[in-house]
Amino acid sequence: MFKKDFVWGVASSAYQIEGRAENDGCGRCIWDDYLDTGIVNQGQNAQVTCDHIHHYKEDFALMRAMGVKHYRFSINWSRVLPEGTGKVNEVGLQFYKDLVREMKKNGITPYITLFHWDFPVALEEKGGWLNPESVNWFAEYAALIAEHFSEECEYFITLNEPQCFIGLGYLREFHAPGKHLPDRDLLSMIHHALMAHGAAVKAMRKAAKRPIKIGYAPTCGVALPASDREEDIAAAKKRYLGMNEERDNWTWTVTWFVDPVVLGTYPEEGKAYFGEALPEFSREDMELIHQPIDFLGQNIYNGYQVKAADNELGYEYVKNGDGFPKTACGWPQTPTCLYWGPKFLYERYKLPIYITENGMSCHDIVTDDGKVHDNDRIQFLDKYLNELQRAVEEGVPVEGYFLWTFLDNFEWDKGYNERFGLVYVDYATQKRTVKDSAYWYKKVMETGGEILSGNHCKREMLFLEPVFKEVVWGGTRLREQFGYPVEGDHIGECWGISGHKNGDCRITGGIYDGMQLSQVYEQYPELFGGKEAQGQFPLLVKIIDASDKLSIQVHPDDAYAQVHENGSLGKTECWYVLDCPEGAELVIGHNAQTREELIQMIEENRYEELIRRVPVKKGDFIQIEPGTIHAITEGLLILETQQSSDITYRVYDYDRQPPRPLHVRQSMEVTTVPGIPRQQVLSTASCPKNELVELISCDFYKVWKLDLTSAISIPQAYDFMQISVVEGEGVINGTFVQKGTHLIVPCDYGNVDLSGTMQLIISVPGGR
């Protein structure tokens, strides 16, 4: 779990949300010039965007309402210093003071980022980051911010994603100012930006009116091990912290941008990579860059898989499979990046870590009910935060997480195409609509992450792979009629839902894939309504194919089985007749009036006189209580719901050869005498369609039949619900099912939505 003082927040940047106001005094930044060319998404610009400059009071009140207590935002350098240096724009400075005041009024702790890509045009015209004077320009700006904000604000971040503002702005031309410079110039720009970071740290600590905490927020995709093998983990770490970038896109590297800041030197691998393109860097430069910082921020959105390989690099890339999940902007969804990224970073840099950005662009729309149902974002964040929690639980000192972002906004070169926000913004009207994900994240923050699915067993339907039993009286209908992939001509039993040691079904698909039902029951008792497992899984569902008659037998109750069968459950069961020949009968009950008469009839082999025969037809249902002599006769196909027990006492086996063991003494002891009155067979032939028709309710189970011809929804209000499809096909909660499918719907699952044309036998434990 996350610690109690873990920082949960949201992040934004000034240029993406603020817009402009009349007489605001804001200078031009490189993004203003870049957007004036009309290059972005049919000429879109950020002159209005979320109009936060006029709506900030409303926005912070909304943050408070949604439980946000920490806000990472940036100051537009050009708004406070229109020329980048020199004269201060008091209107702009006051605007940010008003922001901070309003944040604090709403109980929100500010985290200020100094530079989020809004480089002043006046300084760009002087060479920008390529000019060594940029170090002093940024230090002057940083000192101004510390002087005016350190009394109210404790947390500051110098640079946001230098990999992006250098690589996308000056190498790949995707971002402002849209230039393509040679490697030597790019390396000089990076060096000056890192020196500017160091100079800013010094200037801020000197100008601050109280002790402050300063960090730095680079980014990079995370190399993810393709497996948990030690060699793959080592390969991923080597790739993530190494340099093997394509030369036309080489700025996506961790160590070139972080090693100088934290370790005081550029990585040797990087020096070899750049060769003659590398400028000379003085010792004094490196000392300036290497200023003590309080935390390392990291913006992490996704990653890529690598595995160990016998080649020069020691690793190779693993391609994502077909249909690999992506966000709306095409980024791969790789939740483990929030585990491996912080883990690898801490192992190298030994600093507290903040995830300063993480989030997802979705195709959000306001639906007819006036809401935004962005469940895909909720699922994304849940998976990512579970992985971050795993890193925290393993000792990685992650101090906080800032979700990108609170408001939909201007998304740089994508304009208004991408929506990352927890709040939907109608840019034409400036109406804010809180998305479902905001309510979910509010609960995450309120509970310290306790609501994350990783802290609870995932409540998904459990589909089971049956276990088959070959017996002398078995047949071939389990293969021929149900399509089960079993060989042999004497397959008599399909244990469709079972956690019994003699036939433990395997879960297929989902997060529990490959686990035995007994394992899931023991490890995740919440799925079955308990805080801890209560003995063995209590029920067992079978399909029985009797091509020949079964033995005449009787089952013990719980009390007898506990004493005489090593604590086993007794066996109460019920039968639903799936198919049978014309004139079929079942053996149910006996005619002995006293135990002495019972013993005498058994010892004298007067079985035809002893047993009762009951006529049955397809669709009939009957309950078999412990102590009842019974037998399934030839030609019947039955679905049996029972206590999870394999205790059967054979009284008579029709002198079958070779002989099977009999249990005459136990049978005489447990048989109920006199026999219970002739049992009633329940016919389901005329039952209504599309309704749950109760067949039985007893201490151990409750059973229904459902004849489905149209779509219905039924509540799952029990510890768990077992469903067996005995005819037809359809869809259950989005999953296709057909004759022979067996599944369990777990506790607290919610409604079960069914459609199709099929017959189902449904059971729950305990008859509640």
Query: Does the annotation mark 18 as catalytic?
Result: no
Question: What tokens appear for 357 in the block?
Answer: 């950005």
Check if the beta carbon of residue 626 is closer than 8 Å to that of residue 572. Answer: yes
C-alpha to C-alpha distances, 501 to 79, 84, 517, nearest whole angstrom: 72, 75, 10
* CA triple 195-197-202, angle to 5 deg: 95
Residue 716 backbone dihedrals phi, psi, to 5 degrees: -100, 95
**Active-site entry in 18, 154, 357, 493:** 357
Evaluate the omega torsion of the peptide bond into residue 405 and state whether it is cis, within 30 degrees of 0.
yes
**Helices marked H in 493-557:** 517-523
Measured N-to-C along each axis, helices 90-105 and 52-65 cross at an angle, to the nearest 10 degrees, of 10
Helix (H, G, I), strand (E, B) or coil at 748: coil
Cα distance between residue 501 and residue 505, in whole Å: 9
Query: Does the annotation mark 173 as catalytic?
Result: no
Check if the beta carbon of residue 555 is closer than 8 Å to that of residue 644. Answer: no
- In the block, tokens 């059967």 appear at 648
**Active-site entry in 161, 387, 399, 640:** 161
Check if the beta carbon of residue 591 is closer than 8 Å to that of residue 597. Answer: no
- In the block, tokens 């003085």 appear at 282
Type of residue numbered 737:
V
Residue 207 backbone dihedrals phi, psi, to 5 degrees: -85, -20
CA nearest to 140, candidates 101, 90, 181, 196? 196
Cα distance between residue 443 and residue 457, in whole Å: 18
Cα distance between residue 557 and residue 652, in whole Å: 20
Cα distance between residue 639 and residue 650, in whole Å: 20
Check if the beta carbon of residue 667 is closer than 8 Å to that of residue 602. Answer: yes
The C-alpha torsion from 31 through 35 and 39 to 45, rounded to 10°, is: 120
Cα 419 to chain center, whole Å? 21
The C-alpha torsion from 360 through 363 and 364 to 365, rounded to 10°, is: 180
Type of residue numbered 312:
E
Is 535 exposed, middle or buried, given 0-12, 13-18 or 19+ CB atoms closer than 10 A? exposed
Residue 717 half-sphere exposure toward CB, CA atoms < 13 A: 6
Type of residue numbered 52:
H
- In the block, tokens 């929030």 appear at 338
Measured N-to-C along each axis, helices 90-105 and 134-149 cross at an angle, to the nearest 10 degrees, of 50
Type of residue numbered 484:
Y
Number of helical (H) and strand (E) elements in the chain, helices listed first: 22, 36
CA nearest to 282, candidates 129, 132, 126, 143? 132
Active site residues: 161, 357
